[in-house]
Amino acid sequence: MAASIDIRVPDIGEYDSVEIIEVLVAQGESVVAEQSLITLESDKASMEIPSTHAGTITELVVNVGDKLKEGDLIARVTSEAPAEAQEKPTATESQTTQAASAGSANVGRVIVPEIGDFEEIEVIEVLVNVGDVVELDQSLITLESDKASMEIPSSIAGKITSMAVSVGDKLSQGALIAEIEGSAATAETPAKAAPQPAESETATASNPVTTAPVANKPQSKTSPTQKLADESYRKAHASPAVRKFARQLGVDLSLITGSGRKNRILKDDVQEFVKSAMSSAGSNYGGAGHAGAGIPSIPEVDFSKFGEVERVEMTRINVLTSENLHRAWLNLPMVTHHDDADITETEAFRQSIKKEAADQGVRVTGLVFHIKALTAALKQFPRFNSSLSADGQSLFYKKYFNIGIAVDTPNGLVVPVLKDTDKKSIYELSEEMTDLSTRARDKKLKPSEMQGASMTISSLGGIGGNGFTPIVNPPEVAILGITRAKMQPVWNGEDFTPRLMCPLDLTYDHRVIDGADGARFMAHYCKVIGDIRKMLLY
């Protein structure tokens, strides 16, 4: 018999608001399993979301411009698949259904719903009081873990008769939040996870704001004034998304008056505050001709007065990549170290295995040897395989070795990541790199395949050049640039001999790596890439 199946957004990594740029099907259309339904585009890549079932689309619930996260409904498909193929309700949905069928009591208990693997999450806000009348899905409290904040809404409409939590309490799944007297209260109802805030309150990658510092930097010792400011910040009436947005911009929420319902602070309020601060900073640095941090702005030019022009909009990836690189350029003190590596013997070995590799259906390029050499160098210099904490006070040393590879695509630059490069052979890495590069150009990469790099390689060897200055991709602390190798005469102590020399460019975050360590790293790297036997030592 026919079954109606919900097609939802699959696991797309840590992204929680990815824009739809294409809807590839229409309501009433028949689709096959794995046929692409929509195209999403984040700040790093585009991806197509396929249908998990074959059938006829009976309802299409998304449009171009909508922003989706994991689990959001895309469409409903009527399929001839057996009923068992339909998705099973989640544990939370089952609990809610069971609770709803328990009858209508006068007082219901609202408890913490399923919140994943988190335990003992701190309550940072209590948004209601005993005696308040609340609506269905009105937020009661805000929890904050080390990774995210979430508001817990009421699953009952009615009057709060008791509150079981206070700011600072730590709660786990199933903990009692409140008792509410309502007309259809259940004996015990788990609250549903809070929905994502509306677009006006959600920080999106498409509208980043670069600001001058508008908040005091954290002090090493908390003063009474700072304690008072922290308390005001905690009490500010704003959603977790707006709080995160404000933290990213360094904005003190206690200084903002909200324009939302009950003076709730919206994303627009934060942006207006930042604009005001930037205008003030600009006037301090010489008026309208300067941007917020005292950087002179580039005046707009009417190019049409010089001749015929055509205006072509940049792709979303182009725009967001430029913004990310600009942010890195402004925030990281970067130094680039240039060197040349003798890869004569390595290239000779690569040429010697080309036929053997081709027989196995693998194309081995010089880049794969650089991946293995970089992995070996990271083992020897673990500081390069680290990331600086947000407060700049500590380093996170990574015990894994994942290498990002910058890939040039028609839509812009993307960086797929080869995972566990220390555990894979030259052939395995070559096969995986070919697959990732192909899917990057076809916009088939998953967000998880572009995250978690230890360090990135940007290679222009296939194009040319004698050197360049690559920009570090935060939160990484270094990036390796490679340009085309060429035969050069090298003095060996007795005479000049022809050697294949490869120009290398290492850019690093000078807050983490000093010049001496950068030079040592490159000297070691040149030895390893010049003699593939040394790769076996690390």
Q: Dump pLDDT digits (tens) for 337-389.
A: 999 999 999 999 999 999 999 999 999 999 999 999 999 999 999 999 999 99
| End-of-domain residue from the set 51, 85, 119 | 85
β-bridge partners, 418: 403
Residues 404 and 271 in one domain: no
Question: What's the pLDDT at 398?
Answer: 96
In a domain, 277, yes or no: yes
Question: What's the pLDDT at 357?
Answer: 93
Residues 275 and 331 in one domain: no
Residues 365 and 473 in one domain: yes
pLDDT higher at 49 or 337: 337
| End-of-domain residue from the set 85, 113, 129 | 85
User: 27-31, 283-287, 325-329, 430-434: which has the minimum mean pLDDT?
Assistant: 283-287
Number of structural domains in the chain: 4
In a domain, 106, yes or no: yes
| End-of-domain residue from the set 19, 50, 85 | 85
Binned at pLDDT 50, 70 and 90, residue 1 comes out as: low
Average pLDDT over residues 449-462: 92
The whole-chain average pLDDT of the chain stands at 80
Question: What's the pLDDT at 380?
Answer: 95
In a domain, 521, yes or no: yes
Report d(CA 172, CA 114) in Å as an integer.
Answer: 9
- Residues 6 or more apart whose CB falls under 8 angstroms from that of 455 comprise 374, 378, 384, 385, 403, 404, 476, 477, 478, 479, 480
Residues 177 and 213 in one domain: no
| Catalytic residue list contains 510 | yes
Question: What's the pLDDT at 218?
Answer: 39
Query: Parallel, antiparallel, or unpaired for β 334-342 and 496-509?
Result: antiparallel
In a domain, 304, yes or no: no
Residues 206 and 70 in one domain: no
β-bridge partners, 387: 396
Question: What's the pLDDT at 283?
Answer: 44
pLDDT digits (tens, 9 = 90+) for 220-259: 344 444 444 455 555 567 766 677 778 777 788 878 888 8
Question: What's the pLDDT at 273?
Answer: 83
* Helices within 265-388 (DSSP H only): 267-284, 316-331, 344-352, 354-359, 366-380
In a domain, 346, yes or no: yes
Average pLDDT over residues 316-333: 83
Show the tokens assigned to 180.
Answer: 């509410």
Average pLDDT over residues 268-293: 59
Residues 108 and 167 in one domain: yes
Q: Residue 28 is part of a domain; what is its CATH number?
A: 2.40.50.100
**237, 290, 338, 510: which one is catalytic?**
510
In a domain, 245, yes or no: yes
Residues 356 and 471 in one domain: yes
Question: What's the pLDDT at 220?
Answer: 38
Residues 179 and 53 in one domain: no
pLDDT digits (tens, 9 = 90+) for 505-525: 999 999 999 999 999 999 999
Residues 207 and 151 in one domain: no
Q: Kindly report the CA angle at 260 between 216 and 167, in degrees rounded to 5?
A: 60
> Do residues 321 and 46 make contact, with C-beta atoms less than 8 angstroms apart?
no
Residues 50 and 105 in one domain: no
User: 40-49, 134-143, 494-503: which has the minimum mean pLDDT?
Assistant: 40-49
Residues 78 and 126 in one domain: no
Q: Residue 362 is part of a domain; what is its CATH number?
A: 3.30.559.10
Question: What's the pLDDT at 189?
Answer: 54
Question: What's the pLDDT at 91?
Answer: 41
pLDDT above 70 covers what percent of the chain?
78
Residues 431 and 334 in one domain: yes
Report d(CA 213, CA 293) in Å as an integer.
Answer: 8
pLDDT digits (tens, 9 = 90+) for 70-126: 888 999 998 764 444 344 444 444 444 444 444 444 788 899 887 766 678 888 888
pLDDT higher at 469 or 19: 469
In a domain, 181, yes or no: yes
Report d(CA 222, CA 234) in Å as an integer.
Answer: 16
In a domain, 310, yes or no: no
> Do residues 47 and 34 make contact, with C-beta atoms less than 8 angstroms apart?
no
pLDDT digits (tens, 9 = 90+) for 12-40: 776 778 888 889 898 888 888 888 898 88
Indicate whether this model's pTM tops 0.75.
Answer: no
pLDDT digits (tens, 9 = 90+) for 390-409: 888 999 999 999 999 999 88
Domain extent, residue 490, equals 317-537
